[in-house]
Amino acid sequence: MKLDTLYTERLILRQFSKEDLEDYTAIMTNPQVTCFLGTGKEKTPEDVRQVLIHFQNCLDKNGFGVWAVVLKESGKLIGHCGFLPLENGEDVELLYAFDPSSWGKKIASEAACICLDYAKKNYLWDFVYALAYPENTASIRVLEKLGFSPDEKVLCFGKLLNHFSYKL
């Protein structure tokens, strides 16, 4: 299965390709990025390769997935944004991660906004959820600006994380 390509003023959200592995590995092995993802542990290049396989497997199984986020102006891969099933297998999580060079530029908000718009038009979900480490205040601000509502904290990946919900 293939993801549709999405466009914003500054971004292209497209399916990951094999050519993305090197640049994506550089982003996803950066401890500044990984400290707020999943278990918070650093990732190896093999871990990153497995993440990309997982993204494709989830897309094939569920019909939704995670886009590569590329700067329109330069074609540079700067991160990912999209949807994966949560551990319970029923709910859907919005997730994103970006190279630190793109932080503070509203890239996460722009990418997440187009993903949510796409979900409203293409999926029959009532809600989308998001998780954030309590100390990841930048991500929490993004979620709040997008209209996510804070719920109770949840234990996930062995960590107590903030849980947010968004009504589509």
pLDDT tens-digit profile of 6-31? Answer: 999 999 999 999 999 999 999 999 99
* pLDDT tens-place string over residues 111-158: 999 999 999 999 999 999 999 999 999 999 999 999 999 999 999 888
Kindly tell me if the per-residue pLDDT of 88 is higher than 80: no
Show the tokens assigned to 100. Answer: 């630190």
Provide the sign of the torsion angle of the four alpha carbons 17, 18, 23, 29, taken in this order. Answer: positive
Looking at residue 130, what is its pLDDT? 97
Looking at residue 135, what is its pLDDT? 95
Looking at residue 137, what is its pLDDT? 95
Looking at residue 158, what is its pLDDT? 86
What DSSP state is assigned to residue 59?
H
Average pLDDT over residues 51-64: 94
Burial class (CB in 10 A: 0-12, 13-18, 19+), 79: buried
Query: Residue 104 corresponds to which amino acid?
Result: G
Burial class (CB in 10 A: 0-12, 13-18, 19+), 47: middle
**What integer best gives the mean pLDDT of the chain?**
95
Closest CA to 40 of 134, 148, 112: 134
Residues in the chain: 168
Query: 1 falls in which pLDDT band (50, 70, 90)?
Result: confident
Kindly tell me if the per-residue pLDDT of 87 is higher than 80: no
User: Would the pTM count as exceeding 0.85?
Assistant: yes
Query: 37 falls in which pLDDT band (50, 70, 90)?
Result: very high
